[in-house]
Amino acid sequence: MVEAERLKEYFLENADRIAHQWLDVIENDIRSLTGRISSSFFKELSKDTKQTIDIISKCIDPKCDEQIENWAERFGENRISMDIPIYQVMEHFRALRTITSDWQGAFLKHDPSVTGITAHQLGSEINQTIDEMIAIFIKKYTKLTRQRLHDQQQVIDELSTPIISITDGVAVLPIVGDIDTHRAKVLMEKALQESSNKNVNCLIIDLSGVLIVDTMVAQELFKIISSLELTGVKVSLTGMRPELAQSVTSLGIRFDDINMFNSLSQALKLYGIRQR
């Protein structure tokens, strides 16, 4: 379509102006929420808007699936790194649709030979391109967000299950906060793995930071201790709260062969570790 080529050239010629117009909308929207934008942040926004307009311009006539895929990957990563929520990005795309429509109107005034039917077809092509960009962006954004949450959960798991070496063969596992099914599984895996990696013979599990106790906590605790002892690790428990002791007793779980201490300092004294 000859008219499509002319529109494409028109958009490419005015790409900087179109991108700047869209950037103004995005900048004002973000400033209204955050109050300010750093120079590096603004630079990334400016680069993103220009790339987006270039993609739309180049895809007016031909299909550009691969280019849109690559654009969506970069655009999604940038929006996540900038902590721009998806609802806000959708508002920016709505503004983009209005801006491109206005520029198409300007093109039609600039080139009055284009018929109404052709103008409608050109408008549909632009909207289809934007729709495709939005659809692929949402897919990429969702995938990247899930990966980011997964990575953050792994960091949290690492920080929430620290095996602290005290002396040769002796380590402490302080448990702080609630224990749910997921965390119990992580505790089990990390305790076994780290005890093996650090050649731990005696592991002191400190429960003074466990705030909520129920039968599930007691059961999972028993599983962790049993698994460790099967690998040859001697377990001592410190800081067992009265509520946890009641849960353990009500379940009939017995810790007869396990050293029990009121505090971590008492347990450390057993291994000759004293405050000087």
* pLDDT recorded at residue 156: 67
Distance in angstroms (rounded) separating the CA atoms of residues 4 and 40: 36
Average pLDDT over residues 130-150: 88
The first and second tokens of residue 63, run together, are: 């299909």
Would you place residue 91 in the very low, low, confident or very high pLDDT band (cuts 50, 70, 90)? very high
Please, which contacts does 189-194 make with residues 24 or more away whose CB atoms are closer than 8 Å? 190/157, 190/158, 190/161, 190/163, 191/161, 191/163, 191/224, 191/227, 191/228, 192/227, 192/228, 192/231, 194/161, 194/163
Beta bridge partners of 167: 170
Average pLDDT over residues 206-229: 80
Q: When comparing pLDDT for 155 and 75, which is higher?
A: 75
In this model, does residue 263 exceed pLDDT 60? yes
Average pLDDT over residues 166-170: 86
Tens of pLDDT, residue by residue over 17-53, are 999 999 999 988 888 877 777 788 888 889 989 999 9
* pLDDT recorded at residue 273: 67
Write out the H or E segment, with its range, that includes residue 261. strand 259-261
In this model, does residue 205 exceed pLDDT 60? yes
Tens of pLDDT, residue by residue over 93-114, are 999 999 999 998 888 887 777 7
Average pLDDT over residues 135-157: 82
Would you place residue 252 in the very low, low, confident or very high pLDDT band (cuts 50, 70, 90)? confident
Structural domains of the chain, ranges and CATH numbers in brackets: 2-156 (1.10.490.10), 164-270 (3.30.750.24)
In this model, does residue 159 exceed pLDDT 80? no
Q: When comparing pLDDT for 102 and 210, which is higher?
A: 102
* pLDDT recorded at residue 92: 94
Average pLDDT across the chain, whole number: 83
Would you place residue 160 in the very low, low, confident or very high pLDDT band (cuts 50, 70, 90)? low
* pLDDT recorded at residue 175: 83
pTM: 0.62
CA distance to 31, 130, 144, per residue, from 80 (Å): 17, 20, 8
In this model, does residue 276 exceed pLDDT 60? no
> Are the beta carbons of 208 and 263 closer than 8 angstroms?
yes
6-15, 63-72, 82-91, 249-258: lowest mean pLDDT where?
A: 249-258
Average pLDDT over residues 249-258: 73
